[in-house]
Amino acid sequence: MKRTVIGREAERGSAGVKMMIVLMGIILAANAGYNYVPVAYNAKAMKDDMDTAVLQGMALPGKVNPIDNVKERIQKAMVVNKVPQGATLDVKQAGNAMNARVTYSEPVNLLPFGMYRYNYTFDYTSTPTGFLLKQ
């Protein structure tokens, strides 16, 4: 026996709308990741390159100026890691150690069409650790 369903209009047709909402959420999250991940990856690579440059600059033998050497290495790393033009680089010698600091800010579009722009701020000071500092 078939019974006719009467008066249940609210239960019909909602699956398509729910699927569209879920797909929009997935697309927005994928777009945010697509734009944010390269910026975060370049920042992490820049941190690693700074640590390497400071450590190698302290280990240089001879009459090479370690501050100039570290600046040159970090400036090359800034080009490779696509650091914006307005970045500041500061290299100082503190006693027998050396510190290098790079700061910059880069806008990242998290939502499409520039509806929401996140300002990624990079501020890192590289200080050497390990056997080179032991007396």
pLDDT, one tens digit per residue, over 9-61 is 666 667 888 999 999 999 999 999 999 999 999 999 999 999 999 988 888 77
Six token digits for residue 99? 């510190």
| 73 is a domain residue | yes
Q: State how many domains the chain has.
A: 1
| 98 is a domain residue | yes
| 5 is a domain residue | no
**Domain span at residue 112?**
13-133
* CB 60 within 8 Å of CB 43: no
pTM for this prediction: 0.81
| 8 is a domain residue | no
| 7 is a domain residue | no
Burial of 124 (0-12, 13-18, 19+ CB in 10 A): middle
DSSP 26-62: HHHHHHHHHHHHHHHHHHHHHHHHHHHHHHHHHT--S
| 1 is a domain residue | no
| 87 is a domain residue | yes
User: What pLDDT digit, counting tens, does each position of 59-113 carry?
Assistant: 877 777 889 999 999 999 999 999 999 999 999 988 778 899 999 999 999 999 8
